[in-house]
Amino acid sequence: MKLIKKTNTYYLFFLALLFPIMLGVDYYVIQYTVNYEVEDILLHEQQRINYHLAENKELPSSNYLMETKALHSNKNLLGVFRDTVIYEAYADKNVPYRLYSFTATKGELPLRVTLKHVLLEINELIWWLFMGTSFILLLLGIGFYFINKKIYTWAWNPFFENLSKLKSYGVTQEKPIHLKSSKISEFEELNEVVTTLMEQVRKDFQNLKEFNENISHEIQTPLTIIRNKVVLLLGSGNLDKKELKLMQTIHQETNKLSKIGKALTLISRIENQEFKRLDSVDLCAMVTNIVSNMEEIIQFKKLQIDAKLDTVVIECDHVLADILFTNLVKNAVQHNTQGGFLNLQLNQEKFTISNSGEMPEVEMERLFMRFQKGNPAKDSVGLGLAISQKICEIYGFRLVYERNAKTHSFSVFFQ
């Protein structure tokens, strides 16, 4: 959920919570004010009546006078306010009134005087309160929305520009990132922290890249020397069988170590997204060429090939595409059985290669992990499928392995 939507949701929740509170507060405030004003009018009318009785010994005419009642005692009773309803014939309904009863003296005769004043009808009061409060809250809601939208556009604009820069920025770039400044102190602090962090990550990446390149070069150089010396010893003819076997083992392990170094360096380069070039790769021609290069091994194993290859062109780095499909074809040939089959299918949706072979000793979930080999006896470093998986991840492909009886299938889905 976007921030502006979440903020507006909080505003709506706040207004919905505020509505009954405002309605209740307004109702009691207005009711108190009306009662106070009515009582004030009735108290002033009481003073006027008492003054008139003291001067003229008789009750004055009054619009508020409801009734007078003679008392049998001279005891001065306190004035009392109360509410009642009185039927009004002109309106044909009961009308709410506020009554005030007090004691007065007409000559020597004590009287109980009751005054009345009409009140606002509660139903009408609630209705107008509801309408007024709703209108005010509606204006507040509209105001909150547009103000929040304006603030969101103005205040958050630098943030979204910087976010866009961060999305497009890669640690492989040589130049440091430059974020747009903001007048908001929190955003400026965030910019400083992010810039420092990104610069540190960029430097760490460059150092790691240089380290991998250096160590790869430094390892490959002595390995090449060792291999050359071993080849010279193997060709000298001065070794007995035991020494010859030792030299062959050294030569094999040296080759394996060299392959591991190159494979790990390749994985590191793939993970660091150093292959950014996009080429139009003709997969039909590429797969046909890969199979042709392995013709000798295929003939040696007497494999039966069934290839159904459509013309398919994908956009990716040509080197990585060659590595991906070479690994898959090489894996299918290497782990095939003598006199087995090799089926290749290519269409716009996927590339599938199936081969006969024994069940792999490694679990299916671990097949694409580094240094996992289906057959430990085979002369491989166990990185081919891991490299293939990394290449597929870069371009959004999906690499799937399936097995059925003694048939193994690898499929690369392009979409």
Q: Helix or strand or coil: residue 216?
A: helix
pLDDT tens digit sequence for 11-20: 778 877 877 8
Distance CA 316, CA 325 (A): 13
User: How confident is the model at residue 346, as a pLDDT?
Assistant: 92
pLDDT tens digit sequence for 389-404: 888 888 888 998 888 8
Instruction: List the helix and strand counts (H, then E) for the chain.
Output: 9, 11
Distance CA 87, CA 261 (A): 104
Cβ–Cβ < 8 Å for 299, 277: no
Q: DSSP secondary structure string, 364-412? A: GGGTTSTT--S-TTSS--S-HHHHHHHHHHHHT-EEEEEEETTEEEEEE
User: How confident is the model at residue 287, as a pLDDT?
Assistant: 92
- Residue that is written with structure tokens 């008789």 in the block: 58
- Residue that is written with structure tokens 């979409």 in the block: 415
Cβ–Cβ < 8 Å for 336, 301: yes
User: How confident is the model at residue 136, as a pLDDT?
Assistant: 82
List the chain pLDDT tens, one digit each, 415 residues: 666 677 777 777 887 787 788 778 877 887 788 888 888 988 998 888 888 888 888 888 877 777 788 777 766 678 888 888 888 887 788 888 889 988 888 877 888 888 888 887 666 767 777 788 788 878 887 887 788 778 777 777 888 888 888 887 776 666 777 787 877 788 788 888 888 888 888 787 777 777 777 766 667 777 788 878 878 877 777 777 787 888 888 877 777 777 667 767 777 777 666 667 788 889 999 999 999 988 999 999 999 999 999 999 988 888 888 888 988 999 889 888 899 999 999 999 999 999 998 766 555 555 666 445 555 445 555 677 888 888 888 888 899 888 887 788 999 998 7
φ and ψ at residue 147, rounded to 5 degrees: -65, -45
Q: Which helix (H) or strand (E) holds 82?
A: strand 80-88
For Cα atoms 164, 170, 172, give the angle at the middle one, nearest 5 degrees.
Answer: 160
Of 207, 200, 155, nearest in space to 177 by CA: 200
User: How confident is the model at residue 98, as a pLDDT?
Assistant: 87
Distance CA 129, CA 366 (A): 70
Q: What is the CA radius of gyration of the chain?
A: 47
Distance CA 101, CA 66 (A): 10
Distance CA 348, CA 309 (A): 10
Distance CA 332, CA 344 (A): 10
User: How confident is the model at residue 371, as a pLDDT?
Assistant: 47
Distance CA 26, CA 41 (A): 22
Distance CA 96, CA 223 (A): 107
Of 350, 282, 291, 287, nearest in space to 311 by CA: 282
User: How confident is the model at residue 369, as a pLDDT?
Assistant: 62
Cβ–Cβ < 8 Å for 52, 59: yes
Q: DSSP secondary structure string, 331-362? A: HHHHTPPTT-EEEEEE-SSEEEEEEE-PPPSS
User: How confident is the model at residue 382, as a pLDDT?
Assistant: 62
Contacts of 52 (CB under 8 A, 6+ apart): 58, 59, 60
Of 304, 297, 361, nearest in space to 326 by CA: 297
User: How confident is the model at residue 370, as a pLDDT?
Assistant: 47
User: How confident is the model at residue 76, as a pLDDT?
Assistant: 67
Q: Hey, which residues does 410 pair with through a beta bridge?
A: 353, 401
Token pair for 50: 């008492």
User: How confident is the model at residue 376, as a pLDDT?
Assistant: 47
